[in-house]
A and B are shown apart, each in its own frame.
Chain A
């Protein structure tokens, strides 16, 4: 049950697009279309941004999008805004009612 692999940090300027990758294995990300993404600001609880690979909960801007290819899922944020600066975590269903998170990525808006 090793954590999914995410880059430790990414950055972009306001208005640009950034992508955050999340690499798992054929037992989790590659096997199930149940990848979700969470945004977490310092000292706050995580917030669901994407679920089932590419679905957005109501209230999440359409600047946030998700995709998956093989064992790697990705979160893309377009039109970066200052308030997007946060930590982002991917999460995948891993079978037998268990879940596995990624190590997290710190997004810096320059």
Chain B
């Protein structure tokens, strides 16, 4: 059974940092692009970043470029999101998501349960 379990969310002050983790199981993690998608309270979904199977390519939404870094450790079946210079508008539930096919970046057929990041003073 495919499982994605996020962790690392919490309350952080503006300008602070946080690292999210996503533990994957039930599939060959190293075969898939992986993504982070976020959802601000009461708002819609926003794709944040993705990373290629071997970590050699990484892409970001403009609003997080230079502040967030996506990475992965295939030996640990884990995906990460390092978030620096956090802003109030980064407050959201962050989901880890896996695409249907190994050759594509989407669509996402598996999602984690999400981890809440709250940026507030």
Contacts and interface: CB of A to CB of B under 8 A. Distances in A.
Interface in B56-95: 57, 59, 61-63, 95
A89 B111 contact: no
Contact of B47 (A45, A51, A99): A99
Interface residues of A, number: 24
Contact of A48 (B37, B59, B100, B113): B100
A46 B113 CA distance: 9
A57 to B, nearest CB: 6
- 4 tightest A-B CB contacts, nearest first: A36-B107, A45-B111, A104-B44, A51-B107
B44 A103 contact: yes
Nearest to B96: A45
Given A38-B108, A93-B105, 20 more contacts: A1-B62, A1-B63, A3-B44, A40-B45, A45-B95, A45-B112, A45-B113, A45-B114, A46-B45, A48-B109, A51-B100, A51-B107, A57-B100, A57-B109, A89-B44, A97-B33, A100-B47, A101-B37, A101-B44, A101-B46
Nearest to A55: B107
Interface of A: 1, 3, 34, 36, 38, 40, 45-46, 48, 51-52, 57, 89, 91, 93, 96-104
Given A98-B47, A103-B44, A48 B107 contact: yes
B90 to A, nearest CB: 16
